[in-house]
Amino acid sequence: MLLPRPPLLDRTVDPGPAPVAWEETPCPLCGRDEPALVLEAPDPVPGGHGLWFAVVRCEHCGLTYTNPRPTPATIGRFYPPDYRPHRRPRKMVRSRPARPVLARLFGRPCNERRGDLPWPVPGRLLDFGCGGGAFLKRMADRGWQVTGLDASVGAGRAVQEELGLTVLTGSLPHPDLSPCSFDVVTMWQSLEHVHQPLDILREAYRVLVPGGKLVVATPSVESLPFYWFGPDWFGLDLPRHLTHFTPKTLREMLETAGFRVGLQRQLRHGDWLRSSARLAAVRGAGGAWARLLRWKPAAKAVAWACYAAGMSDCMTAVAERPV
């Protein structure tokens, strides 16, 4: 049975202690206002506010984004206290082998999220959207000089107090971050959460040294799991995810911000498939396929198949600020 559906973005509905303010946005990539509706879906968080949200695709450049959306000042109402940006799988996904030319540029294939950045010498690293600080800690232990940046005051304070690492509160640009002050900037499942992703990437470019690297990981809507599950796909996470990238639109946005894009890879997420299947089952959708994918071995096998087909629902890109 489908969830009861209130009117789309009914501004008379008050989902929190104070009204949420809404905004409509032109395309965050090309700036045009030519949206075509892709789908509508509710907030998947248990006990969510019952609102539905629209996902549109720019007819000019193809970028998919959430529109309308809560304003930057009020979107925090949609982050429950125990929200985790994305579940980090116990067994982190493995990387697709690098092509030879890129392997020469970026070193051996690696799993960056585990801390295996493909640059041998530790340097200065900024983790944008550092959350609980697990990645920061890993990199600090490997000799990197790390700085975290997160919109959550509580998360930043916890990382500083419990791990003793430097964490700034806020976003980019940040007054405490100087131009050309980092060798690497990482964005693990954070770029899709920001209202102006192109501005964020331009700021990342500015704080990187020439030759510095940016690593981005984000869900991909050009994926079999999105086609199968649609509004129930785990990677949508409305309304917290504001931009829904494909490999092509992620590359174009990085290039628009001035980066030279190197390696782009698919990542396997069997646990995302299971989460999508569970959500579909709760909503009475998906049928036997969703029931099958709730079974871990099946989800794992199907995640492999998506990966082999080049249609996984998570991806990474490594980009460089040209010298």
In the complex, the residues that contact Zn ion under the rule CB under 5 A are 27, 29-30, 58, 60-61, 63
Quote the radius of gyration of the chain (alpha carbons, Å).
19
User: Is the Cβ of residue 20 or residue 58 nearer to Zn ion in the bound state?
Assistant: 58
User: Is the Cβ of residue 29 or residue 319 nearer to Zn ion in the bound state?
Assistant: 29
Q: What count of other Cβ atoms lies within 10 Å of the Cβ of residue 229?
A: 27
> Minimum distance between the CB of residue 169 and Zn ion, rounded to whole angstroms?
31
Would you give the end-to-end CA distance of the chain in angstroms? 56
316, containing H or E segment: strand 314-320
> Minimum distance between the CB of residue 317 and Zn ion, rounded to whole angstroms?
19
CA angle 279–282–285, rounded 5-degree value: 80
Adjacency order of strands within the sheet including 35-42: 35-42, 52-58, 64-66, 243-244
DSSP category for residue 10 = -
Q: What count of other Cβ atoms lies within 10 Å of the Cβ of residue 176?
A: 12
User: Is the Cβ of residue 41 or residue 58 nearer to Zn ion in the bound state?
Assistant: 58
User: Is the Cβ of residue 27 or residue 221 nearer to Zn ion in the bound state?
Assistant: 27
> Minimum distance between the CB of residue 26 and Zn ion, rounded to whole angstroms?
8
> Minimum distance between the CB of residue 133 and Zn ion, rounded to whole angstroms?
35
> Minimum distance between the CB of residue 246 and Zn ion, rounded to whole angstroms?
12
User: Is the Cβ of residue 30 or residue 136 nearer to Zn ion in the bound state?
Assistant: 30
Contact between 108 and 98 (Cβ < 8 Å): yes
